[in-house]
């Protein structure tokens, strides 16, 4: 089966926007989405990249741009009042959910909570709710978040991404082809169609 490897960080609003489009893309192309969370700060450090919001003119532009993309996609968007938020537990939770085959559903729920509902994705109480809403039992997943295996797998996704040329999020691979940014989904779809 054709597949898209989707590298993302829950703190990335552009990753949220891309994620809202993945299900439709997968259906149109008969593809599978492989969800690979990573710690974007570590990727920036490893590649010498910088947080876009640190440049004030770019930050102002980015806020307007995010709104335009949300309108184009027909999805809700609001800047999270906790930005920059701590996404580490949420991303580890997604890694822990891989064994159940529901990491994508959980990632989608956490993205919506962060970027459409202005909810706290660092709160265990909230994470329990999001797990249940994604059809998952929260307690074993929250326990797994603290395990070395889950921490190591999250770190490994980031290291894999950097080794393959990723410098930011969202980053998507179709085979060895890298596509960066939610505005490259048409190229992702073309690559999948050609595959």
Three-state SS for the chain is CEEEEEEECCCCHHHHHHHHHHHHHHHHHCEEEEEEECCHHHHHHHHCCCCHHHCHHHHHHHHHHHHHHHHHHCCCCCCCCCCCCCCHHHHHHHHHHHHHCCHHHHHHHHHHHHHCCCCCCCCHHHHHHHHHHCCCCHHHHHHHCCCHHHHHHHHHHHHHHHHCCCCCCCEEEECCEEEECHHHHHHHHHHHHHC
2-194 CATH, one of 1.10.150.120, 3.30.1360.30, 3.40.30.10, 3.40.50.300: 3.40.30.10
Query: Residue 30 corresponds to which tokens in the numbers above?
Result: 């008969």
Q: Where are the domains of the chain?
A: 2-194
What predicted TM-score, i.e. pTM, was given to this entire model? 0.94
Query: What local confidence, expressed as pLDDT, does residue 85 receive?
Result: 85
- pLDDT means per 10 residues in the chain (195 residues)? 95 97 96 95 78 75 93 95 89 95 95 97 95 94 96 97 96 97 96 91
Q: Catalytic residue at 81? A: no
- Please pick, among 12, 15, 87, 103, the residue that the annotation labels catalytic: 12
For position 44, what pLDDT does the model report?
78
């Amino acid at each position: 089966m054709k597949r898209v490897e989707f590298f993302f960080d829950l703190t990335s609003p552009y990753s949220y926007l891309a994620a809202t489009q993945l299900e439709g893309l997968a259906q149109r192309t008969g593809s599978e989405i492989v969800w690979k969370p990573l710690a974007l700060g570590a990727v920036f450090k490893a590649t010498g990249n910088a947080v876009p919001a640190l440049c004030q003119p770019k930050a102002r532009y980015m806020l307007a741009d995010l709104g335009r993309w949300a309108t184009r996609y027909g999805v809700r968007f609001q800047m999270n009042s906790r930005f920059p938020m701590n996404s580490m537990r949420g991303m580890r939770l997604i890694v822990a959910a891989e064994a159940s085959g529901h990491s994508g559903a959980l990632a989608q729920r956490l993205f919506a909570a962060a970027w459409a509902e202005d909810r706290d994705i660092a709160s265990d109480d909230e994470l329990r709710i999001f797990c249940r809403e994604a059809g998952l039992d929260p307690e074993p997943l929250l326990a797994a978040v603290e395990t070395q295996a889950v921490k190591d797998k999250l770190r490994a996704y980031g290291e894999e991404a950097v080794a393959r040329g990723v410098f930011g999020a969202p980053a998507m691979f179709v085979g060895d082809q890298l596509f960066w940014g939610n505005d490259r989904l048409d190229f992702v779809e073309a690559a999948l169609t050609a595959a």
